[in-house]
Amino acid sequence: MPYKKVDLAVEAFNQLNYPLVVVGIGNEESKLKSLSRNNIRFVGKVSDNELAKYYKNCKALIFPQEEDFGLVAVEAQFYGKPVIAYNAGGALDIVINGKTGVFFNEQNWQALYDAVKRFEKMSFDSKIIVHNAQRFSKQNFWKKFKEVI
């Protein structure tokens, strides 16, 4: 979907010449594939088990879109993976800049490119990232919900 801004990731990773795996399907897929170089792989729709493998083996999740919440970013962090995210929307509630990921401030490929370059110079503690994601766990939700009631 255009609002997911996968085109920004494709262009940034074309310029970086780093591997990028795009998971999922949508009406932009053929256009994005035509823009992509050999370092970018489209795997389409995957099972939950396959998705878990991608999360476990990724270096980071690229999150260029603005979402109300951003479940994918939380899922990646549950696996201890940092998120490189556009500095808006739900990402502001999920990502702790410099601790659980990196923000970029403009929604264009150059800003994402620069964020990836900054990310490469940093190190992240997967335990801190998982702990951060646990704020959004089902158990924590029910605990907080019961406190309110």
pTM exceeds cut of 0.75: yes
User: In terms of C-beta density within 10 A (0-12 exposed, 13-18 middle, 19 or more buried), how is residue 34 classed?
Assistant: exposed
User: In terms of C-beta density within 10 A (0-12 exposed, 13-18 middle, 19 or more buried), how is residue 128 classed?
Assistant: middle
Structural domain harbouring 31? 2-148
The CA distance from 34 to 88, in Å, is 28
CB-CB contact of 44 with 17 (8 Å): no
- Per-residue pLDDT, 64: 98
How many separate domains does the chain show? 1
Instruction: Output the domain CATH number for residue 37.
Output: 3.40.50.2000
Q: What is the pLDDT of residues 32-63, one digit of tens each?
A: 999 999 999 999 999 999 999 999 999 999 99
